[in-house]
Amino acid sequence: MKAGKKKLTVGRTVLWVVLILVAVIQIFPLIWLVDFSLASSNEMFTSGLLIIPEKIQWGNYVTAFIDGHVLLYLKNSIVINVLAVLLVVLVSIMAGFACRRMKWKLSNFVKTILLLGMMIPIHATLLPNFKIYSELHLTDTIWALLIPYVAFSLPQALFLMTGFIESIPLEVEEAAVMDGCGIYRIVFQIITPMLKPSIATVAIMTFLNNWNEFMMASTYLSSPKWKTLPFSVLEFTGQYSSNYAVQFAVMALTAAPAVIVYIILNKHITKGVAMGAVKG
């Protein structure tokens, strides 16, 4: 008995050491980012992994906030991401219900085509989309980002949503039909409230995936009107020199909302993915 308890204690100790090591490795980039954002530009070029600033440069954040147009770009990021989340949740619920509950010949084929979107890399669509948007005069508009954000988030959302929809007993819908409910009332008043864990997971993952996206934004946008928060970094990049310390401060400000959302809602992501995997 004592030998068994000793082995169990040693196993737990090893497990905790491994988990702490993994956590430190995962958190270190954030520590490094904040550390460099509080140093001066002259202290950037160091041989060590971290900097011990002679004087903490809180002014980097003030400069980043004011000169980086953080408020404007933050407003654009929030508007675009909120709209993207709403559209992805709405379309994934309707598409998931149509593909798994409604009887029509091409339901499985359509679902497969939509799920294949997870295999398409973003970079492969930049040039074709830019050509299409140019012809339709959609470049430098909110639609230039909203359309691809929804399109690339929808396959993953549909995958999670169909897993939850399949777990709902058919008797629920049959009872609703017996009570005289139409298709829209069944979907939005009966099925949707039962999908709260899945909706939370889809909303959070869509937000996190699109928040720091820069490749499509830099390709389709040119004027400040709809530029998102990552563009603030470019405000301190010059042709011959760059203010690296302030750039680190901008990156810290850009990453902060996503980190806060993830920390607060992490349990909902884990719970939603786990339930969808088991029930699907």
Supply the pLDDT for residue 177.
83
Q: Which residue has the tokens 């990453």?
A: 255
pLDDT at 278: 47
Task: Give the pLDDT score at 280.
Answer: 43
pLDDT of residue 263: 80
Write a three-state SS string for the chain.
CHHHHHHHHHHHHHHHHHHHHHHHHHHHHHHHHHHHHCCCHHHCCCCCCCCCCCCCCCHHHHHHHHHCCHHHHHHHHHHHHHHHHHHHHHHHHHHHHHHHCCCCCCHHHHHHHHHHHHHCCHHHHHHHHHHHHHHHCCCCCCHHHHHHHHHHHHHHHHHHHHHHHHHCCHHHHHHHHHCCCCHHHHHHHHHHHHHHHHHHHHHHHHHHHHHCCCHHHHHHCCCHHHCCHHHHHHHHECCCCECHHHHHHHHHHHHHHHHHHHHHHHHHHHHHHHHHHHHC
Question: Side-chain half-sphere of 207: how many Cα atoms within 13 Å?
Answer: 21
Low-confidence ranges of the chain (pLDDT < 70): 1-8, 47, 238-241, 268-280
Report pLDDT for 182. Answer: 84
Predicted TM-score (pTM) of this structure: 0.81
First to last CA, the chain: 41
pLDDT digits (tens, 9 = 90+) for 112-135: 888 888 888 887 888 899 999 999
What pLDDT does 279 receive? Answer: 47
Q: CA-based angle 169:172:173, to the nearest 5? A: 105
Question: Other CB atoms closer than 10 Å to residue 212's CB: what's the count?
Answer: 16
